[in-house]
Structure 1
C-alpha cells in the first residue's frame, strides 16, 4: 500500500478535485441506493403483499438526520397518492426512478472526468520526475545500466502504472462508498440477516488476496523481461551493419526469441491467475447470495423474521448489487499488482542519488582566470585503477595534448574536467578551487566538448548548433557555422538551417556531422575546450576541413586535445604521453622526439603506416 499511495502522491495539484470527487461519489452512491430501495414500497403497496399495514403520516415529519426521515417523507406523498389512484402512484415511482438513475449517471460522468484529470496529472508528474532523475544521473550510471532497460521503465512501466494503479483510483474511492451505501440499506432492512452474511465475506477476501500476491511476483518478472527485450531490440537496430556483416542474423533471432518465449510463459502464468480473480469473486458472490436466499427464506417461512415479501426481495436485489463493486474491487486489486511491480521499478530509479551533485555550500564559477590543475589525481572503474597520481597544471590559453596507447586513461582524465566523474583520490581545481566546491552547472558553462562521435539530434541544423542556447539569433548561428567551415554545405541543403538531419544526423556525412558539433562548441564560446579524438574517424579531405575548423575554435582558448593522429597535435604547448594510467613523458613535440622515448616510437609507427 505504501507504493500505491506514493504513486497517488503524484496527482498534485489536487486542489478542489479531491473533495469534489468524494462529493460526486457520495451522491452517485445515494442515488444508486434510492433506485434499488424504492422497490420495497412498490411491491408492498402496489401488489398488496404487506405484512403490516403502512400508516400514512398526518404531516411532513420534522427534519432529522437518518434514513427513517427520508422514508417517512416518501410515505407521506406516496401512500396518499396510492389511496387516490394506484396508476398515478406508479407514475410517481417511475418519475423518481428516472430522476434517480439520471442523477446517478450524471455523477458517474463527473467522476470519470475528474478521474481522467487525476490520471493525466499522475502520469505526467511521474514521467517528468523519472526523466528529471535520469537526466541528472552521473555518466557512470549509463555505462552500468542497460539502455533498453531504462527505456522500458520510462515507457512500458509508466504505461502499466497508468493502466492499473491510476485507473484503480476510481474503484478504490467509489466502490467502497457503494459497498457502504448498500450495507447501510441492508442493515436498515434487516440487521440480523445482514450480520449473518458478513460472516461469509472474509473467506472470499482471503482467497482473492492470495491470487493477487501470486500475480505481483509474476508481474515483476514480466516487466524485467520487457526490459531485456527492449535492450536486445535497441542493440539490434544500432548494430544492424555488424549483425549482417558477421552473418549473425540467426544468432540474433535466437537471442531475441528466447527472451520473447520467457516473456510469453511468464505472461501466460500471470494471466491465468489474473483471469481466475474475476470469476472466483463472482462465484463466491453468487454463492453468498444463494446462502442469503436460503437463510432469509427459512427465517421468513419459520416466522423468525418480520420482513415482508417486498422487503426481502429488495434485500436480495440490493445484496446482489454488492457483487458489482465487490467484483470491481477484487479485479482492481489483482490488476494493480502488475502496476505496483512497475511502480517499484520506477521508484528504484527516482530514489537513486546522483554520484555527482552540488554541495549545499557550492559556489558559482564566475570566471576562469589562471589555471586548471590536477593534484595527485587517481581514478578507478570498480577495482581497476585507470589513473594513478596525475599531477599537471594547464595555464589559461594553453593547448595541451594527451597521447598514448588505448586504455591509457586519456578520455577518463578529460571526463574529470567537466566533472562527469569525481576522482577517488586527489583533486581537480580551477584557479585553486576544487571542482567539488563549485556548482556543476557553472563549471560546464565554461566548457565545450567535441568528441569522436558527433552527438546530434533529430532536429533542424539550427537547433543542433543552438543546442543549449535557445536565445541565440540566426546571425550568431551562421557565424559559428562559418568559423566551423560548415556554412557552405548547409546553404546548399534543401531548407538550409531549417533542414532536418535525421536521427543522430544520419542525413549528413561524418565530416559534416563533426563540423556541426564544432559550430555548436564555437557558439557556446567556452573558456576551456576538450577535443576527444575529434578527427580520428574522418577521411583525409574531411579531416582537413575539420582540422581547420578546430584550429579556428582553439584560438585564444585553453584546450585539452586527445589524439591518436599525432600530426594534429605537434603545435601543442605541452604534450603528455600516458600509459596504463600514468604520465610517462611530457614536453613539446621537438623535445619529446629528442628524448627518443615512447612518443618518438608512436611517431615512427604512424610515419611507417
Structure 2
C-alpha cells in the first residue's frame, strides 16, 4: 500500500478533481438506486388487481418500498391508474436522465484526474532522467528506460485512478443496494451477502501470483523495446551481414515469452470475474428457492412485487462486487509497473551542485588537472593525470586507442567526477561551482555527429533558441556549411531526418560545428571530429574547425596527428598515464611514443 499511496501523490491537487467527482458519483448512485425502488410499488399497485391492505402501513422506518407504495396508492386513489402510470413513467425518465447525467460527470472528472496524474508522473520521471549523470546511461538499457516512461507510466496512472474510482464508487453503490435489500428482507440479505467475503477469499488466492508475473511482463516488454531500438539503429549492419533472419528469430523469441506471460496473467485475471458471478448465481438460486417458498406458503410479509425487486436489486449487487474483484486483480499489474517507475524516479544523480556552489560566469586564466584518477568499477582508466590548459591555447590529447583520452575529455565538462585528484578552473575546484555554469563555458563537437530530427535551423540554434536567421547563417558560413544548406530542398528549414540521416557525414559534422560556433563558448572540446570522414569532407570540416578554434581555448583529440601539429601543447597518454608533454617539435626530438605514432601514421598514409 505504501507504493500505491506514493503513486497516488502524483494526483495532487487531488481535491480539485475528487470533490466534484464525489458529489457527481453520489447523485448518480442515489438516482440509480431510486430506479429499483420504483419497480416494486409500480408492479404492486398497477398490475395487481386487488392491492394489499398492507400498503397503507409502513412496516419499519427503513421500508422505502412501503413508503413508495403508499404514495403511488394515494395517487391511484386520487388520479386513477392511467394518470398515475403517466406520472410514474415521467419520474422514471427523469430519474434515468439524471442518473446518467451525473454518471457522465463523474466519469469526466475521473478522466481529468487520470490525465492530470499521467501528466505529473511522466513529467517527474522524464525530468529525473534528464538530471541523471551521463554514466547512468552507460549501464542501463535504453529500451528499459523508454518502456518505463512510455508503457509503465500508462499502466500506473490507469490502475491508480481506476482503483481510486472503484474504491469510492462501488462500495457506496453496494451500500445503497444493501439498504434496499435490508428494507425488503433482513433474513435473505444476511445470507446473500455471505457471497462477498467468500468471493474475495477465493479471488485473492487466484490473483496471488499476478504481481510477480506482471513484473516479468514489464521487463520482457522493455527488452523488446530495447531490441527494436537497436535493430532500427543498426539496420544497415543487419542488412550488410545478411543477419535479418537471426534478428527476426531473436525478436520472435522475446515476443513469444512476453505473449506467454500475458496469457498467464490474463487467465488469472479473467478467472476472477466468472468465479464471483458463479457464486452470485448460486446465491440467487437459493434466494429464489427460499423467497419463493416464503411467498407460496404465506410466511412473512414478502410480496411477489417486493420479491421481484429483491432479485433485480441483488443482481445489481454483483456489479460493484465484480468491479471490486476486477480492480483487486488489476492493481497488481499497476503496483509492479509502479515499482519499476519509482525505482527509476528514486535514482539519484551522482553529480549534484553543492548548496553553496558558485556560478562561473566567465573563463579568465586556465583549467588545471592535478593528480586526476578515474575508474569504471575495478577497471582503472586514468592514473594521476596532471597538466594545465591555459586560456587561448590549443591542447591536443593523443595516444593509442583505449588509453583514456575520451574519458579525460568527459571529465572536463564534468560528465563524471574524478575518483581522486582535483580539476580547477580559474582556481576554483569544480565541486565549488555549479555544473551548469561549467558547461556554459564549453562547446562540444564529438566524433558522432548527433542531430535532432528537426530543421537545420533549429539544430544550429539548439544552444541559442532566440538566435536570428542572420546569426545562424553567420555560424554556418564559419563552419563551411552555408553552401550545402542553401542547396537543400528548403534551405535552413529542411528537416535532417532521424539522427541527421538525410545528410552526409561531413554535412552533419559541419552543422554540429555551426551549432558550437553559434553557442560561442570560450572553451571548445573536439573529440576526433574528423575521424569518420572521407578526405574531401575532412578538409572542409578541418577548415571549419580551424575557424572555430580561433581566439578560443581548445582541447582536441585527433585521429590524424597531422591536424594537431600546430597545437601549443600535445599531451601523450598511454594506458591511463601521461608519458610525454610538449609541442610537436619538442616531442619529435624526444623520439618517444609520439614520434612512433607519427611515423606509423606516415607509413600507413
TM-score range, shorter chain: over 0.9
User: In structure 2, what is the Cα distance between the partners aligned to 1:15 and 1:202?
Assistant: 31
1:63 counterpart residue number: none
- Tell me, yes or no, if structure 1 residue 542 matches structure 2 residue 543: no
Report the secondary structure of 1:338's partner residue: helix
- Tell me, yes or no, if structure 1 residue 466 matches structure 2 residue 467: no
Report how many residues are paired: 600
Structure 1 residue 314: Cα displacement? 1.8
Question: Which of 532, 553, 556 lines up with 1:561 in the alignment?
Answer: 556
User: In structure 2, what is the Cα distance between the partners aligned to 1:390 and 1:296?
Assistant: 91
User: In structure 1, what is the Cα distance between the partners aligned to 2:578 and 2:293?
Assistant: 96
Report the secondary structure of 1:376's partner residue: strand
Moved more, 242-251 or 512-521: 242-251
User: In structure 2, what is the Cα distance between the partners aligned to 1:304 and 1:394?
Assistant: 102
- Tell me, yes or no, if structure 1 residue 233 matches structure 2 residue 234: no
Question: Which of 66, 72, 76 lines up with 1:78 in the alignment?
Answer: 72
Q: Is the 8 A contact 2:38 2:68 kept in 1?
A: no
- Tell me, yes or no, if structure 1 residue 31 matches structure 2 residue 28: no
Q: Is the 8 A contact 1:514 1:534 kept in 2?
A: yes
Structure 1 residue 303: Cα displacement? 6.2
Q: Is the 8 A contact 1:115 1:169 kept in 2?
A: no
- Tell me, yes or no, if structure 1 residue 116 matches structure 2 residue 111: yes
Structure 1 residue 80: Cα displacement? 1.8
User: In structure 2, what is the Cα distance between the partners aligned to 1:598 and 1:273?
Assistant: 67
- Tell me, yes or no, if structure 1 residue 516 matches structure 2 residue 511: yes
Q: CA offsets per residue over residues 501-520 of structure 1, 9 Å max, x none?
A: 11111111111111100010
Structure 1 unmatched runs, 5+ = 58-65
Q: CA offsets per residue over residues 176-225 of structure 1, 9 Å max, x none?
A: 22112111222233333322223332110111122233222222111111
User: In structure 2, what is the Cα distance between the partners aligned to 1:49 and 1:423?
Assistant: 96
User: In structure 2, what is the Cα distance between the partners aligned to 1:306 and 1:74?
Assistant: 16
Structure 2 unmatched runs, 5+ = none
Q: Is the 8 A contact 1:404 1:579 kept in 2?
A: yes
Structure 1 residue 475: Cα displacement? 1.0
2:10 counterpart residue number: 10
Structure 1 residue 570: Cα displacement? 0.8
1:421 counterpart residue number: 416
Q: Is the 8 A contact 1:50 1:310 kept in 2?
A: no
User: In structure 2, what is the Cα distance between the partners aligned to 1:14 and 1:393?
Assistant: 55
Residues 227-306 of structure 1 correspond to what in structure 2 (within 5 A)? 227-298=222-293, 305-306=300-301
User: In structure 1, what is the Cα distance between the partners aligned to 2:469 and 2:66?
Assistant: 79
Return the TM-score normalized by structure 2. Answer: 0.94
Q: CA offsets per residue over residues 337-392 of structure 1, 9 Å max, x none?
A: 22322222112111111111212222211222211111211111111010111111
Structure 1 residue 39: Cα displacement? 2.1
User: In structure 2, what is the Cα distance between the partners aligned to 1:226 and 1:554?
Assistant: 46
Structure 1 residue 36: Cα displacement? 0.3
Q: Is the 8 A contact 1:25 1:177 kept in 2?
A: no
Q: CA offsets per residue over residues 256-306 of structure 1, 9 Å max, x none?
A: 121112112212211211221221121122222223333444555666643
Structure 1 residue 142: Cα displacement? 1.0
Return the TM-score normalized by structure 1. Answer: 0.94
User: In structure 2, what is the Cα distance between the partners aligned to 1:526 and 1:67?
Assistant: 80
User: In structure 2, what is the Cα distance between the partners aligned to 1:49 and 1:540?
Assistant: 106
Residues 454-493 of structure 1 correspond to what in structure 2 (within 5 A)? 454-493=449-488
1:54 counterpart residue number: 55
* Structure 1 pair 483–308 and aligned structure 2 pair: CA distance change class (3 A): same
User: In structure 1, what is the Cα distance between the partners aligned to 2:405 and 2:146?
Assistant: 30
User: In structure 1, what is the Cα distance between the partners aligned to 2:117 and 2:340?
Assistant: 16
* Structure 1 pair 581–78 and aligned structure 2 pair: CA distance change class (3 A): same
